Amino acid sequence: DAGITQSPRHKVTETGTPVTLRCHQTENHRYMYWYRQDPGHGLRLIHYSYGVKDTDKGEVSDGYSVSRSKTEDFLLTLESATSSQTSVYFCASGDRGSDEKLFFGSGTQLSVL
Amino acid sequence: SQQGEEDPQALSIQEGENATMNCSYKTSINNLQWYRQNSGRGLVHLILIRSNEREKHSGRLRVTLDTSKKSSSLLITASRAADTASYFCATAPNFGNEKLTFGTGTRLTIIP
């Protein structure tokens, strides 16, 4: 987990409210990723970034947006949270994308009521 | 849909025994990676094997890759209580696609 910080660690929110999760890395990695983890589904990719202002969608991107204005920060926004977005969210970063190992944060437990 | 599927979903063994987990995937890959996740924590990278490699070792870990069968196995020898965790395989598609895709994981319990 060293070098990657997610905030908040826990959040409870209501349906329909916007939510922003933050990922901060101090490793100067080019690539950053957002995954969600749900029982029976493993980790599923939401969005990833391959540089400042460069992002692409993953397999479960509907309802999520991301922004990367600085190398070290990658934000995940739920524009209008739904109960189906209750999950544990993990951020990861790496130097060479999928060609090399990723480093993960400790996760954010999000509950949408 | 998941690219990788681990088998078994759960495994319990006595401390000192060897643990074997398998991963099957669907499309061609550039590399395959194994990660460990302790309860309530993030994932930690264990080992990476490239598509042109058949076997790789790291300490008590041994990974094999059979691209013709689209499968990989992770062997942990002489298991310890600290090896209790979930283990995930992740596949990297051919070069140029940065979407690392994870399987559903194997929950390993080491009984002291």
Q: Are A65 and A90 in contact (CB under 8 A)?
A: no
Which of chain B's residues have a Cβ under 8 Å away from the Cβ of A60? Answer: none
Could you count the other beta carbons within 10 Å of the beta carbon of residue A62? Answer: 7
Give CA–CA dist B65/B23, Å, rounded: 9
B48/A101 CB distance under 8 A: yes
Give the closest of B42, B48, B98 to A90, CB-based. B42
Does B48 reach chain A within 8 Å, measured CB to CB?
A: yes
Residues in A 38-97 with any Cβ partner in B closer than 8 A? 40-45, 48, 50, 56, 58-59, 90, 92, 97
The token pair at A9 is: 């660690």
B77-86: pLDDT as tens digits: 999 999 999 9
A53-97: pLDDT as tens digits: 999 999 999 999 999 999 999 999 999 999 999 999 999 999 887
Give CA–CA dist A97/B2, Å, rounded: 19
Please state the φ and ψ torsions of residue B65, each to the nearest 5 degrees. -135, 125
In this prediction, residue B1 carries a pLDDT of 46
Provide the percentage of residues in chain A whose pLDDT is more than 90.
88
Which of chain B's residues have a Cβ under 8 Å away from the Cβ of A44? Answer: 2, 102
Does B64 reach chain A within 8 Å, measured CB to CB?
A: no
